[in-house]
Amino acid sequence: MRYWLMARAFAREGHDVVYWTADFNHATKRPRSPETLAADGGDIDGVKLVAVHEPPYKKNISLRRLWAHWRWAKNWRKAATRFVEGGGKAPELTVVSSPPLCICGEARKFARRTGGKVIVDVMDAWPETFERVAPRWALCPLRRLARANYLGADAVTTVADNYIETVRGYGYTGPVRRFYHGISIGAAPARGTDAGGTAAASPLRIAYVGNLGRTYDLETVIEAVAMVDGATLEIAGAGDMEESLRRFASAQAAAGRVTFRGYLGVEELARLLAGADVGVVPMPPESCVGIPYKLADYSAAGLAVASSLGGECDKILALYNAGASYRWRDPQSLANALGRIKAALPAMKAASRRMAEELFDESRIYKDYVDFATSME
């Protein structure tokens, strides 16, 4: 996704690139398959891919996950040191994701020893996002870590404008710039009954793609489906709430119109989105998320979007008229939003695709990222 596409963009511009990733899949909570890591240590599209061991964890919000991140950071630094001592080129530039928080410090120490620079790329606001489930005083150690990460960076990049405010709030005064999630948008969906020109009288086809965890209010989506005549919902993903969501859905009036598809591969996911009308972003406004990946995925597929996230996400939807907002945990509000979308569905789907082409095209975004990163003195 973001970092693989970014790595390829650096390689296309003639840079030697090493892409370090974990051997544990955060989405599935399983070790990456041998097929996924078949190129470990090899070269794909000019990028050297190296997997580093990360201990497993089961829950997104847990001490075990934080420990796994800490352990992965230590493992990465050892692996990077062996790489250079074994004849690999010392990096002139390291782009490191935040979160996880622990890896930024290790990358900074390594870069200072080898004479390189570090860009911290903010994917999510940690520890701010945890304030929904933990008291502020308990997050002080993570806040100190985040501050050290930002103040120690040579530059900071973010995936949303609101994260720039977060970074500045820690006292960082260096260069910072926002780069939205870039995705391979491909050809525009065909305009027909199945991919963009669904008649207003047809049943509304709703899709959710993502984690099935506590952060995502899928119960409200399931309840709203029952309020919209003939609407169907397909849920693609996995997570610790999957079983309870299945039980919840089976007890609703729209049980026969809700389908759980599990964790899908790239081609299966593309087919699911091609057959949908609306993508839903059922996230709380206080989650601190600015622009979620699913917004880019939905818009690239030409789906109108229903969102409870608020903030930057909903502002963009309103700017393009690419969907509708609804109140978090309010099924009637979502049902009303779906009604507004259905009344203007072809226009909203076309506007959503235009939004993807103008805001999320990876060929432009990551070319700009490379230009920004390599322009640092």
Tens digits of per-residue pLDDT, 85-136? 998 889 999 999 999 999 999 999 999 999 999 999 999 998 988 887 788 8
CATH assignment of 205-359, given 3.60.20.10, 3.40.50.2000, 3.40.630.40, 3.90.1310.10?
3.40.50.2000
As annotated, the residues of the chain forming the CATH 3.40.50.2000 domain(s) are 2-182+361-374, 205-359
- Give pLDDT < 50 ranges for the chain: 39-40, 192-199
Tokens of 331: 């099924």
User: CA dist 359 to 8, 160, 181, 300, Å?
Assistant: 19, 12, 9, 10
Tokens of 84: 């250079």
Per-residue confidence (pLDDT) for residue 81, from 0 to 100: 94
Per-residue confidence (pLDDT) for residue 301, from 0 to 100: 95
Per-residue confidence (pLDDT) for residue 3, from 0 to 100: 93
Sequence-distant (6+) residues with CB within 8 A of 138 are none
What DSSP designation does 160 have?
S
Per-residue confidence (pLDDT) for residue 35, from 0 to 100: 54
Residues in the chain: 377
Q: Does domain 2-182+361-374 bear CATH number 3.40.50.2000?
A: yes
Tell me the whole-structure pTM to 2 decimals. 0.88
Per-residue confidence (pLDDT) for residue 200, from 0 to 100: 53
Phi first, then psi: give them for residue 32, nearest 5 degrees: -65, 140
Is residue 256 classed exposed, middle or buried when 0-12, 13-18 and 19+ CB atoms within 10 A define those classes? exposed
Per-residue confidence (pLDDT) for residue 197, from 0 to 100: 44
Strand partners, 11: none
The pairing of strands 47-52 and 17-22 is parallel
The pairing of strands 47-52 and 43-44 is antiparallel
The pairing of strands 24-25 and 30-31 is antiparallel
Q: Which residues of 316-351 are buried (b: 16+ CB within 10 A; e: fewer)?
A: bbeebbbbbbbebebbebbbbbbebbbeebeebbbb
- Judge contact between 185 and 361, C-beta under 8 A: yes
